[in-house]
A and B are shown apart, each in its own frame.
Chain A
């Protein structure tokens, strides 16, 4: 039985891997894709992670991974299908193999949340997108809308403004949750039209997006709708294992959950601010908690 299994290789999992190596724990990192980084892979410019003035998410993910590998972390490329409590630890059942460990750091992160309007599901990949950096180029010279009010929504609008003729930024509230400087940049950008206190009602189109209907009755003539309304944690594996709160694994800064020896790190846990820096911090804290648990 291993000391520890780290589930996930985003910034939280990779940070945990570095700390677990330093702690000389017997551990593996299980990742669904042999390409680390998680959600940051969708980000074209990161300027708030200390030590990197401006870097794309893919490169930063690779930098993190190389660091963890150099420190001695072992990566298993497999998908976890089941997590079970067993005597003295946990069994981690994957598609191709099985692992047993005294402790688990669960860092499977989150995925973009769906908006939940008519047309969203039908037109996904047909003009409805959750990744502006992936799909923005398909809307060169066209009109698009971004829905949301956080950092990702503002970053998406600014990114699309470089490519598209016009970008509507639609936010249901008056105040933006995003960083001030992003809101300031968007307000000063001629191509971005900000619609505050406005909600989308339906995404229009047959086979591809042809417009966006707002709850105030107006129709926007757009070819693309980019949805950035927050995240949904990947908690499917642990609903019966530990306590959740609003869809996130309930855990404080130490990563401690309601299940003994089971720790949560990164976007998957309840927290105020979901950033690369806070995920990295979580990874360190979780390993500290694992050590306390193992050597108590």
Chain B
């Protein structure tokens, strides 16, 4: 299961990571987020070691959501070298998530 992270962990776990990092912005009220979440979990297992995967609950961490201009969830943001490499809004399939992360490898 992909771990939920807090604002104060974000720099050390995401920005300063040497690997590509996929962050799934979600909330408990969002049905499509619940669809996407197990697919992100599955990809994180398939790609463990190659990339890191985290979730951010936009209710609990509104500052992070604001910082990255999240206005629609689920949103996946791919970070590479501390920068936003790509962004995907809405539910996508497991295969598409994998391809999305692989572009940063």
Of all chain B residues, the one with the shortest Cβ separation from A78 is B94
Of all chain A residues, the one with the shortest Cβ separation from B41 is A34
Instruction: Decide if B105 is an interface residue (CB 8 Å cutoff).
Output: no
Q: Are B72 and A124 in contact (CB under 8 A)?
A: yes
A-B contact count (CB 8 A): 81
B27: A residues at CB distance < 8 A: 134, 137
Please measure, in the bound complex, the distance between the C-alpha atom of A137 and the C-alpha atom of B57, giving whole angstroms: 13
Q: Are B94 and A131 in contact (CB under 8 A)?
A: no
Q: Are A125 and B72 in contact (CB under 8 A)?
A: yes
Please measure, in the bound complex, the distance between the C-alpha atom of A125 and the C-alpha atom of B68, giving whole angstroms: 12
Q: Are A133 and B31 in contact (CB under 8 A)?
A: yes
Instruction: Decide if A129 is an interface residue (CB 8 Å cutoff).
Output: yes
Q: Are B32 and A137 in contact (CB under 8 A)?
A: no
B71: A residues at CB distance < 8 A: 125-127, 129, 135, 138-139, 208, 224
Chain A contact residue count (CB 8 A cutoff)? 33
Which of B2-10, B13-21, B85-93 lies at the binding interface? B85-93
Q: Are B72 and A42 in contact (CB under 8 A)?
A: no
Q: A127-171 vs B: 1/0 string, CB under 8 Å?
A: 101110111011100000000000000000000000000000000
A95: B residues at CB distance < 8 A: 93-95
Please measure, in the bound complex, the distance between the C-alpha atom of A124 and the C-alpha atom of B38, giving whole angstroms: 24
Q: Are A37 and B29 in contact (CB under 8 A)?
A: no
Instruction: Decide if A41 is an interface residue (CB 8 Å cutoff).
Output: yes
Chain B contact residue count (CB 8 A cutoff)? 28
Q: Are B35 and A138 in contact (CB under 8 A)?
A: no
A130: B residues at CB distance < 8 A: 90
Q: Are A134 and B73 in contact (CB under 8 A)?
A: yes
Q: B23-67 vs A: 1/0 string, CB under 8 Å?
A: 000010111111110110000000000000000001100000100
Of all chain A residues, the one with the shortest Cβ separation from B74 is A134
Partner of A41, one of B32, B75, B89: B32
Within 8 A of B (CB), among A207-230: 207-208, 224
Q: With contacts A126-B72, A131-B72, A135-B72 known, what are 10 further pairs, Cβ within 8 A?
A: A40-B31, A56-B31, A61-B31, A124-B72, A125-B72, A127-B71, A130-B90, A134-B27, A137-B29, A208-B71
Q: Which 5 A-B pairs have the closest CB atoms?
A: A41-B31, A125-B89, A125-B72, A33-B35, A35-B35
13 contacts between A and B (CB under 8 A): A33-B39, A35-B35, A37-B35, A61-B31, A79-B95, A125-B87, A126-B69, A129-B71, A130-B90, A134-B27, A139-B71, A208-B69, A224-B71
